[in-house]
Amino acid sequence: MSDSETTVAELKNLVESFVDRRDWRQFHSPKNLSMSMAIEAAELMEHFQWLSAEESREIVRDSRKLGEVADELADVICYALALANQLGLDLAGAVRNKMAKNEAKYPAEAYRGRYGPEDRRQGGNEE
């Protein structure tokens, strides 16, 4: 199952089936799911803590570390999918709507190569 062959609906169904087979829906309040997603995001960040921007890009060269990062990212995504299931959200529509808002807020011609209007390019924010 690869990204190019899998729909968001299939992933949502995979997570929903996993949750239902364990009778975990009772624990999956939006509050609990959003908190769990934040916890998993923090675990993902731990893999990059104290690395320089360049060092963080080098993770792809270490298959063990990359596998650990993949697991944490998958946890974040699984909780996001579970939250979407709980709230009845259409993720594809939500992403498209948010990207349209981002396009309006950050026009490419004004933000190409910059992260914000006060971008001073003095070391950036990639510490």
| Residue 20 domain-assigned (yes or no) | yes
| Residue 117 domain-assigned (yes or no) | no
| Residue 31 domain-assigned (yes or no) | yes
Q: What is the CATH number of the domain that holds 60?
A: 1.10.287.1080
Range of the domain at 20: 3-111
Predicted local confidence at residue 105, as pLDDT: 92
Predicted local confidence at residue 126, as pLDDT: 52
| Residue 124 domain-assigned (yes or no) | no
**Measured between alpha carbons, how far is 17 from 6 in angstroms, rounded to an integer?**
16
Each residue's pLDDT tens digit, 69-104: 999 999 999 999 999 999 999 999 999 999 999 999
Predicted local confidence at residue 99, as pLDDT: 98
Predicted local confidence at residue 117, as pLDDT: 67
**Measured between alpha carbons, how far is 89 from 105 in angstroms, rounded to an integer?**
23
Predicted local confidence at residue 120, as pLDDT: 55
| Residue 100 domain-assigned (yes or no) | yes
Predicted local confidence at residue 92, as pLDDT: 96
- CA 94, 53, 48 angle in degrees (round to 5)? 70
| Residue 46 domain-assigned (yes or no) | yes
| Residue 118 domain-assigned (yes or no) | no
Q: Cα 84 to the chain's mean position, in Å? A: 13
Predicted local confidence at residue 115, as pLDDT: 79
Positions of the chain with pLDDT lower than 70, given as ranges: 117, 120-127
| Residue 120 domain-assigned (yes or no) | no
Its pTM surpasses 0.85: yes
Alpha helix ranges (H) inside 22-62: 30-46, 53-57
Q: How many domains are there within the chain?
A: 1
